[in-house]
Structure formats: C-alpha cells, structure tokens
Amino acid sequence: MLAHLRIARPVSSLVTAERMYCAAFELSVLGKFHDHQGFDGVMLGRAGVGYHFEFTYCRDHPIVPTPTAEDLLVFYLPDPTEWALACARAEASGLCRVPSLNPYWEVSGRTFEDGDGYRTVLQNTSAR
C-alpha cells in the first residue's frame, strides 16, 4: 500500500509553528483553514515527499500539547554537510537543542524541541 502520511499535532500558536518549522526544515505552506468547525490549521510540507505536517488550534477548547520525551520525529540526513546545515537552521529558527532521553539518538544525531515540547531528531545516518 502506498500512502501519504499526515502528522497532525495541536499547537499553542499556529503562527509560531508555521514560522519555526518552515525555517528549520525548509518546509512550505501547503494549505490553511480557518474556523473549520472551531479549528484553525496550517499544513506544511514539500512537493514530492510522502508526508506533510498539519498543525491545529482549537478556538473553542484549546488543547494543551502533551508530548513526551519519546514522541519523536526523526529526519535521516546521511550527508554530514547537509546534516550540519539542518542543525544550524533548527537552532536559528528557535528550536532548542535538548538531550535525548534515549542515548541512541545522541550517538549520531541531535534532538531539538519546540515551544510546545514536540521533539525532532536530526540523525546523521541513513534510515534503517
């Protein structure tokens, strides 16, 4: 089965999430919606990849994001130069570098956390 993957997450600020994720991961806005049954949202991604992110905000009953230290997005970047540039973009965008709970990710990667506590690992290896 070939499917497109959407990763949906509630956030405390759509503006912040859009700015941060576009800058950090070189994503573009694919679409937005406003007051769709009480929800606002933005979809971010890149043309030609099999995934995109949807960030939402509930106007009537804001959801407090509750990620754990092991809820991770992992990007595999085997080229050392590309990986270093991606890490620099992540830090420049406002993501904070944090130690990973799982020491495996520290060997060849760096873990970054956004203001809502969502974590992304930039791994300097090929996907396994």
Percent of the chain residues topping a pLDDT of 90 = 90
Tell me the H-state helices in the chain: 14-25, 80-93, 104-108
Q: Which is more confidently placed, 48 or 40?
A: 40
Distance CA 122, CA 3 (A): 24
- C-alpha–C-alpha distance, residues 17 and 55, integer Å: 7
- How far apart, in Å, are the Cα atoms of 24 and each of 15, 21, 96? 14, 5, 11
Within 10 angstroms of residue 119's Cβ, the number of other Cβ atoms is 22
Whole-prediction pTM value?
Answer: 0.93
72-123 falls under which CATH superfamily?
Answer: 2,3-Dihydroxybiphenyl 1,2-Dioxygenase, domain 1 (3.10.180.10)
Q: What is the pLDDT of residue 128?
A: 73
Under the banding of pLDDT at 50, 70 and 90, the label for residue 62 is confident
Write out the residue limits of the CATH 3.10.180.10 domain(s) in the chain: 5-58, 72-123
Q: Give tens-digit pLDDT for 103-112.
A: 999 999 999 9
What is residue 58's predicted lDDT score, i.e. its pLDDT?
94
| Reduced 3-state DSSP string for 27-63 | CEEEEEEEEECCEEEEEEECCCCCEEEEEEEECCCCC
Domain 5-58, classified CATH 3.10.180.10, yes or no: yes
Phi then psi dihedrals of residue 96, to 5 deg? -100, 130
Compute the mean pLDDT over every residue in the chain, rounded to the nearest whole number: 95
Q: What is the pLDDT of residues 85-94, one digit of tens each?
A: 999 999 999 9
Residue 1 has pLDDT above 80, yes or no: no
